[in-house]
């Protein structure tokens, strides 16, 4: 929870508008409990929330060509957000399976392999002492696996969960705006679309950075882990069959 709260706070602080919000500044800087509660209650009765917030912003006038482009941008955003949400859900499912099932099975497999070699080595300590070393090696690798899952897949989990929540929020926003612009003749469609496009630009900037980070961290941790496994196996091999040049 602390990690997710920190990610949320960092994201708000990077936002060009929300970072300067009076409500946000109150939330993160007010240390007096009574003052904090009063500020919370004030925010709760604010009517300019959700898409109502769009009605109080100022936007520049635009020509017809720009209006058309904005409409196409919103349509594409809606279509892409559905694809993004589905892809995120799939990745979360895979990550959860890796963390909860695959890795645990592999850890248990390494432990069982280690026990089997150790048991065999104990029964044949004079004939094949290297088997005990092999068993110890696999026991070590099971511990390495337990530590590894927090370094690669859990990082992916956190980022995907974060963006899944954002994608779901986008679907709500897009649906609300589509409904408002269809049902209400007084709604300024252009204003809504300009605001939506601006927010989408920020979202995409964040998305590019975070997805690249997720991929980079995952691959780097996988590389480091497999190097560690190879080094451990190589070490036990040379202990059992030292090179004689």
**Average pLDDT score, the chain:** 88
SS3 state at 17: coil
Tens digits of per-residue pLDDT, 222-244?
999 999 999 999 999 998 888 76
Q: Tokens at residue 193, please? A: 């679309």
Unique residue bearing structure tokens 């799939």: 90
State pTM to two decimals: 0.80
Site of tokens 């196409």? 72
Pair 193, 57: CB distance under 8 Å: no
The answer to whether 207 and 163 are in contact (CB under 8 A) is: yes
Inform me whether the pLDDT recorded for 1 exceeds 80. no
Asked if 214 and 158 count as a contact pair (C-beta separation under 8 A), the reply is no
Tokens of 183: 């049902």
Q: pLDDT tens digits, residue range 155-193?
A: 888 899 999 999 999 999 898 888 888 877 777 888 888
Task: Band the pLDDT of 7: cuts 50, 70, 90.
Answer: confident
202 class by beta-carbon count within 10 Å (0-12 exposed, 13-18 middle, 19+ buried)? middle
Asked if 139 and 117 touch (Cβ cutoff 8 Å), the reply is no
Confidence category of residue 34, pLDDT binned at 50, 70, 90? very high
> Which burial class, exposed, middle or buried, applies to 56 when counting CB atoms under 10 A from its CB (0-12, 13-18, 19+)?
exposed
- Express as a percent the part of the chain with pLDDT over 70: 99
């Amino acid at each position: 929870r602390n990690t997710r709260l920190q990610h949320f706070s960092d994201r708000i602080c990077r936002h060009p508008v929300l970072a300067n919000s009076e409500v946000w500044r109150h939330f993160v800087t007010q240390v007096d409990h009574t003052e904090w509660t009063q500020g919370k209650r004030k925010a709760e009765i604010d009517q300019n929330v959700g898409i109502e917030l769009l009605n109080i912003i100022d936007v520049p006038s635009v020509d017809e060509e720009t209006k058309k482009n904005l409409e196409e941008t919103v349509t594409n955003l809606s279509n892409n957000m559905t694809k993004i949400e589905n892809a995120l859900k799939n990745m979360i499912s895979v990550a959860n399976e890796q963390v909860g099932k695959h890795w645990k099975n592999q850890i248990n497999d390494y432990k069982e392999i280690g026990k089997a070699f150790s048991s065999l080595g104990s029964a044949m300590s004079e004939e094949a002492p290297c088997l005990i070393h092999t068993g110890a090696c696999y026991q070590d690798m099971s511990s390495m696996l337990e530590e590894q899952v927090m370094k690669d897949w859990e990082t992916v989990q956190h980022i995907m969960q974060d963006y899944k929540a954002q994608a779901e929020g986008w679907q709500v926003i897009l649906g609300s705006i589509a409904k408002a612009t269809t049902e209400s003749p007084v709604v300024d469609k252009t204003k809504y679309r300009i605001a939506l496009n601006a927010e989408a630009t920020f979202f995409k900037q964040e998305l590019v950075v975070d997805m690249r980070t997720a991929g980079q961290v995952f691959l780097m941790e996988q590389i480091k882990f497999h190097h560690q496994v190879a080094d451990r196996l190589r070490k036990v091999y040379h202990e059992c069959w030292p090179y004689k040049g």
